[in-house]
Amino acid sequence: MTPGDAERGVAPIDSLTHRLRRMSESAESKLARDVVAIDLRAQAAEVDAFLICHGTNPRHVKAIAEAVEDRLREMGESFFIEGMNEASWVLIDCGDVAIHIFQEKTRRFYRLEELWSHAPLLEMAASGG
C-alpha cells in the first residue's frame, strides 16, 4: 500500500487477497472453470481487483453466481448483481472487486485477461496457515 491508498479506499493486499480467496472458493465449490484474480490496484481502474471464471452453460453460471452471492452475504459484503437472467455474463459488483462469471464462449469473446494482461495476477491458492 502506498501512503495515499488509505485515503482512496484501496484495500491492503492481505485483506484483498483474503476476500478474493473466499469468493474464489465459493465459485470453485460449484466447479467454476479457470478462476483468475487480477490485481488492478496499481492501474487506473474503478476497482482494486477482478475475479474471473466461467461455467459451461447458463444454469452452471447461475449456480456459480448464487454460491458467490451466498458467500458475499456471509462475509457482510455489499454488492450488486446483473446479468442473471441471460447468464451469459454475470457481473457481481462489490465496489472494490468486480466478479465476472461468464459462459466460456462469452469469456473468450471479451478476453478480459488479455485486456488487463499488464496487471499482475493474485495467487488464490490457500496458504498453509
Backbone angles phi, psi at 38, to 5 degrees: -115, 125
Q: With respect to residue 18, please indicate whether it lies within any of the assigned structural domains.
A: yes
Judge whether 50 and 112 are in contact, CB under 8 Å: yes
Q: With respect to residue 111, please indicate whether it lies within any of the assigned structural domains.
A: yes
Q: With respect to residue 120, please indicate whether it lies within any of the assigned structural domains.
A: no
Per-block mean pLDDT, blocks of 10 residues, the chain (129 long)? 46 78 97 97 91 98 98 96 97 98 98 96 64
Instruction: Compute CA distances 48 → 6, 55, 84, 98, 120, whole Å.
Output: 13, 24, 23, 8, 12
According to the model, what pLDDT value does residue 34 have? 97
The one-letter code for the residue type at 14 is: D
How far is it between the farthest Cα atoms of the chain? 44
According to the model, what pLDDT value does residue 3 have? 45
According to the model, what pLDDT value does residue 44 have? 77
Q: With respect to residue 24, please indicate whether it lies within any of the assigned structural domains.
A: yes
Enclosing H/E stretch for 38: strand 33-39
According to the model, what pLDDT value does residue 13 have? 53
According to the model, what pLDDT value does residue 70 have? 98
- Nearest CA-CA partner of 52 in 103, 11, 95, 4: 103
Q: With respect to residue 28, please indicate whether it lies within any of the assigned structural domains.
A: yes
For residue 92, list its beta bridge partners.
81, 99
According to the model, what pLDDT value does residue 12 have? 53
Q: With respect to residue 124, please indicate whether it lies within any of the assigned structural domains.
A: no
> How far is 76 from 94, CA to CA, in rounded Å?
11
Supply the range of the domain harboring residue 58: 8-115
pTM of the model: 0.85
